[in-house]
């Protein structure tokens, strides 16, 4: 524990570290429904995220129509095949991975980024992508809260944003950045699925933590 007087008590602190450690990207779901109050709570956590200039540039579309869910799934399948073709010699290996659970999950959200354009320059004048970073903070909050509630979340980013925007009648200044599959799970994986399936192994923090300037030859 730290020596700060504002530190959480030991049990609360352990829970925070635990949820960060045990959050996983999930692609296999049980069919059991998600309690609506729990869904509301995790959405409230997303909405509590930090945002550049307090711009709150997120919108959440709760997809409850089956026909829309199926169309979203079809868009993801198309992009999955395009991704596979672009991967060259890892094509078949990629196609064996499960990269979404859109038809299986209990709840489906599409998360949109609202682009404030030139009006929103607070904190974004030189780094316009800070609006995207803000929405990602919201998604991470939801992801962690969901894990603590025992719910799995899978972030799917394999889709053509223009076609998804058209399907969901987005205005011009908004674009979808995530499809979130949410639901109960049989179990949480002990490590990232991509590592378990030998797609890629995570590298340690020591390779990514530098002192002062960028070391020669560091990736």
Ligand X SMILES: Cc1cc2nc3c(=O)[nH]c(=O)nc-3n(C[C@H](O)[C@H](O)[C@H](O)COP(=O)(O)O)c2cc1C
Give least dist CB 11 to ligand X, A: 24
- Complex with ligand X: residue 137 or 194, whichever CB lies closer: 194
Q: How many CA atoms lie within 13 A of 190 on its CB side?
A: 1
Residue 24 interacts with ligand X (CB under 6 A)? yes
- Could you tell me how many residues of this chain bind ligand X (CB under 6 A)? 11
Residue 25 interacts with ligand X (CB under 6 A)? yes
List the one residue from 49, 84, 137, 158 that touches ligand X (CB under 6 A): 158
What distance in Å separates the CA atoms of residue 157 and residue 176, rounded to the nearest whole number?
9
List the one residue from 99, 112, 114, 164 that touches ligand X (CB under 6 A): 99
x/- track of binding to ligand X for residues 190-209 (CB under 6 A) = --x-x---------------
Angle at 7 between CA 5 and CA 9, to 5 degrees: 115
- Complex with ligand X: residue 155 or 170, whichever CB lies closer: 155
What distance in Å separates the CA atoms of residue 187 and residue 20, rounded to the nearest whole number?
16
* Residue in the shown chain whose Cβ atom is closest to ligand X: 192
- Complex with ligand X: residue 82 or 125, whichever CB lies closer: 82
**Do 71 and 159 meet the contact criterion of CB atoms below 8 Å apart?**
no
**What CA–CA distances, in Å, run from 115 to 31, 112, 143?**
35, 9, 23
**What CA–CA distances, in Å, run from 85 to 75, 90, 92, 101?**
16, 9, 9, 21
What distance in Å separates the CA atoms of residue 145 and residue 138, rounded to the nearest whole number?
11
Give least dist CB 12 to ligand X, A: 23
What distance in Å separates the CA atoms of residue 149 and residue 106, rounded to the nearest whole number?
15
Q: Which stretch binds ligand X (CB under 6 A): 10-18, 114-122, 153-161, 203-211?
A: 153-161
Give least dist CB 57 to ligand X, A: 16
Which residues of this chain interact with ligand X, rule CB under 6 A? 24-25, 27, 99-100, 155-158, 192, 194
């Amino acid at each position: 524990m730290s020596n700060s007087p504002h530190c959480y008590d030991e049990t609360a602190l352990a829970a925070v570290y635990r949820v960060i450690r045990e959050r996983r990207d999930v692609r296999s779901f049980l069919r059991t429904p998600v309690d609506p109050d729990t869904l509301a709570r995790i959405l409230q956590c997303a909405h509590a995220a930090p945002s550049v200039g307090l711009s709150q540039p997120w919108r959440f579309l709760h997809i409850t129509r089956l026909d829309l869910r199926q169309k979203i799934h079809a868009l993801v399948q198309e992009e999955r095949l395009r991704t596979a073709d672009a991967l060259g010699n890892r094509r078949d290996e990629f196609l064996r991975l499960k990269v979404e659970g859109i038809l299986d999950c209990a709840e489906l959200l599409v998360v949109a980024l609202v682009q404030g354009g030139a009006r929103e320059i607070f904190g974004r004048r030189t780094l316009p992508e800070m609006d995207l970073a803000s929405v990602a903070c919201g998604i991470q909050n939801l992801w962690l809260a969901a894990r603590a509630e025992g719910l799995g979340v899978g972030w799917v980013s394999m889709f053509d944003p223009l076609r998804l925007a058209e399907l969901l009648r987005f205005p011009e200044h908004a674009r979808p950045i995530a499809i979130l599959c949410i639901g109960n799970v049989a179990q949480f994986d002990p490590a990232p699925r991509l590592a378990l399936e030998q797609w890629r192994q995570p590298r340690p923090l020591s390779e990514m933590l530098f002192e002062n300037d960028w070391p020669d030859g560091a990736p």
